[in-house]
Every structure is written in structure tokens, then in C-alpha cells.
Structure 1
Amino acid sequence: MIKTMEKRRTPLAKQAGSTKTGAPPARVSYVVGQLDRLLKRSLIDVLGEFGLTLPQFTALSVISASGAMTNAKLAERSFITPQSANEVVKTMEANGWVGRAGHPTHGRLIHLFLTDEGRRVLKECDSAIDMLEASMLDGVTEIPVDTLRKVLQRCVSNLRG
């Protein structure tokens, strides 16, 4: 995983979208988009080492954070269609990462929950992603990481309206 990330490192000028000395700085939206693409590719690589796809990891994380939920709620919170969520859940269920149980008071609702194996796989992936984030944030000393997180969360909030 670390070797994969090492290959992707490029000079700071290229990362910022500037190839000439004295060129204007890249737009924030460009740099954020570039980070999004690189981070997504890195996450796919890291999760692939554990046999997970990015949508599966997202679903496991959402269920872990929110507790048992319906397939429709999982789709909504994972930003995917209900049909896609259904496919993701089928694979996760076949791998033993999630189970299904009837809702305690509503007979028609089926809730998804993490199994012990799902929690184990998620914990392993979280550790690997912690390493990926540490690599991504290496050398970030100008501002505290918590400040960076708050600024990015504010940007998300502003665009959501």
C-alpha cells in the first residue's frame, strides 16, 4: 500500500496544477478535485487488499456509525441508488459481513446489521485508511489537521446550502 502511494507522489507545483514558476495558484476547486480523484484511487487500492470495494466499505461504515437500518436508509446515507445498495448488500451478506433481521415492531421492515466478521473487516480497513490519511497529511504543518477538517466540512456545508 505504501509503495503504491510513493509512486503517486509528484512535485508540489504539479499537484497544485501549476507548471511554471510565478504562475497563478491553482483554483481551490481544482486542487480539491485532484485530491478527490487521487484519494478515491488510493482508497480503492487499499480496500482491494481486503477484498472490499469502496461502496462496500462506505456501507459497512454507515451501518457501523448508525446501527441497524433498512436498505433504503443505507442507500440514502451512502449516496447511492436503492438498486446499487441492494447489489452491495447481496455481496456483503454473501461474504458474511452483514445480516438481515426483521424490525422489532414493524413486520415489513428488514434491518441490516454488521456481523462480527463485518466489524472485524471494517476495523482492519479503518487501520489501513488511517495509514493512508497519515501519508496524505505528511508534511501538513501550516495548519492543524483539525482546522483543515473544519474548513473542508464548512465547504461541504456551504455547497449543500
Structure 2
Amino acid sequence: MKSLHDKSEGTASASASLDRLFELSEVLGSMMERGVAEHGLTRARAGLLWALFHDGSMTQRALAARLQVTPRNVTGLLDALEADGLVARAAHPTDRRATLVSLTEPGRTLTAGLRGGRDALALELFGDMPAAQLAAIQDGLETVIARLHAIDRISS
């Protein structure tokens, strides 16, 4: 049976861990903001490009669902990205009501560059870390992320 002392130590340790995650989130968020701004992007626009880079061409509705934003929000993002020559919209080949969104060649080049920056940071952070330590970090983060998704679903 856990004593009150054991429980308070566990709470303190859990709170300290969450504080570290908040700090990590702030540092990574700030780095992401600066990184995408160097390319003339916002995080929202970069997220849209990243989705197309990883998942390929898709409809505006699918993009909205993938990014968990409204279709109107996606339209605004696409207007700006299309004006910058990074995405192209075209009629869907089989659904005349839908618009298909694709990366242009400059859009693919830009997102490949962003991926290269991400890969370089990953190597800097984790390249010399022992495999067991890296696996423990990944396992712990998977658990935390799954729990956060579960909490978020309950709250929504």
C-alpha cells in the first residue's frame, strides 16, 4: 500500500515531468516558428505543405480534416500558398464538386528543404544517443501522446 509520502513524491515527479514537456513544447515551437519564418511561412502554411508532402495530393475537404481546421481556413491558407507558387488547385478528375490540391515543384523543393532541416536537427539531438536511451524516450513519448489524445477526445 502506498503511503501519503509516496503519493506526494509521485505527484511531484509527474508534475516535474509535465513541466519539462511544457518547456520542450515551448522551445520546439519557437524553433519551428523561426524555421518556417525563414522560408516566408507561418506554422499553419507549413503544416499544410507538410501534409501534402507526406500524403500527396488531396481535396480541400481532406486537407481540412487532416489539419483539423475548417474548410474556410484551408481556403485562406491555399490562397496564400497558391499566390506564392507553392501549391496548385485543379478540378478533381472524378468528382466535379471537389478541388484537388497539389504541391508545385517549388513547393516540393521547399518542403524537401524543411525535411532536411528537421533531419539535421534530429541528428544533432539524437545522433550520438545510445539506442536503448533513444528507444526509452520514444516509448515514453508514445505513451504520453496516446494519453493526451485520449484526454483530448474526452474533453471535446
Bigger Rg, structure 1 or 2: 2
**Number of matched residues?**
139
User: 1:50-65 to 2 correspondence within 5 Å?
Assistant: 50-65=39-54
- Partner residue of 2:88 out of 93, 99, 104: 99
2:85 alignment partner, SS class = coil
CA RMSD between the two structures: 2.4
**TM-score under structure 2 length normalisation:** 0.75
Match of 1:34 among 13, 23, 27: 23
**Separation in 2, partners of 1:45, 1:57:** 12
Q: Is the 8 A contact 1:46 1:129 kept in 2?
A: no
Q: Which residue of 2 aligns with 1:6?
A: none
Bigger drift between 113-122 and 134-143 goes to 134-143
Matches within 5 A, 1:66-81: 66-81=55-70
More helix by share: 2
**Which has the bigger relative contact order, CA under 8 A and spacing at least 6?**
1
Distance 2:89 2:136 in 1: 39
Q: Does the Cα contact within 8 Å between 2:57 and 2:102 map onto a contact in 1?
A: yes
TM, length-normalised to structure 1: 0.73
Q: Which runs of 5+ in 2 are unaligned?
A: 1-11, 151-156
Pick the aligned partner of 1:118 from 107, 113, 117: 107
Does the 8 Å contact 1:102/1:109 carry over to 2?
Answer: yes
Partner of 1:3: none
Aligned mate of 2:143, from 151, 154, 161: 154
